[in-house]
Structure 1
């Protein structure tokens, strides 16, 4: 895990490509950017993730995520960028992204098992400007 502070004074935690199978523990509470791409993480634990209430950027691409729920992102109201591409998500339920009031960009491409996105999955995401649509067998 690499922790750095860039010129903008944003706390960035870089855990990409570390062959992690679990979500990293003991992350600084002031983390603003978390990059956990290119690992084998299968679950985003809501309890740990929601302590990161200042998070604005979360890259979870290229992992083994199979499901997410509304509670996964319950306290991430500042999150603007979320990348869930190249995972194994199977469905997106109603209100999954509801708590993400500041979400501007959501990437979900290349989730081959994604077969269902609830019609109201993005109903509360008024700030959403870019949605990279998934490639899969959507109903």
Structure 2
């Protein structure tokens, strides 16, 4: 997986950095570094998969929330329509009751006027 560094003879030893020391450190710890790199790659892959799973879960949850929001709006519109319908029905029933009461009062007045006329006729007949 990892490429071995060049040999210490090939490195420029005239610099301030001791390349041969770095080379020996890399050669001694090369297996650990390679293991760490493979572990990091495995962790990156696992994180990528976890991110994809979380993103899919988030999208599914968002769709469910959108569906519930739409259902809530439909229920609100239906309930509002039912409330308006019940209010209209209440107004119609109250109007009918008021008209019925007026009709009953009119009928009572009409019957009372007939009774008054009859009693006045009876009183007139009694006088004769």
TM category, shorter: under 0.3
Which of the two has greater strand per residue? 1
For CA contacts below 8 A with separation 6 or more, give which structure has more relative contact order: 1
TM-score (ref. length: structure 2): 0.13
TM-score (ref. length: structure 1): 0.12
Question: Which structure is larger by alpha-carbon Rg, 1 or 2?
Answer: 2
Which of the two has greater helix per residue? 2
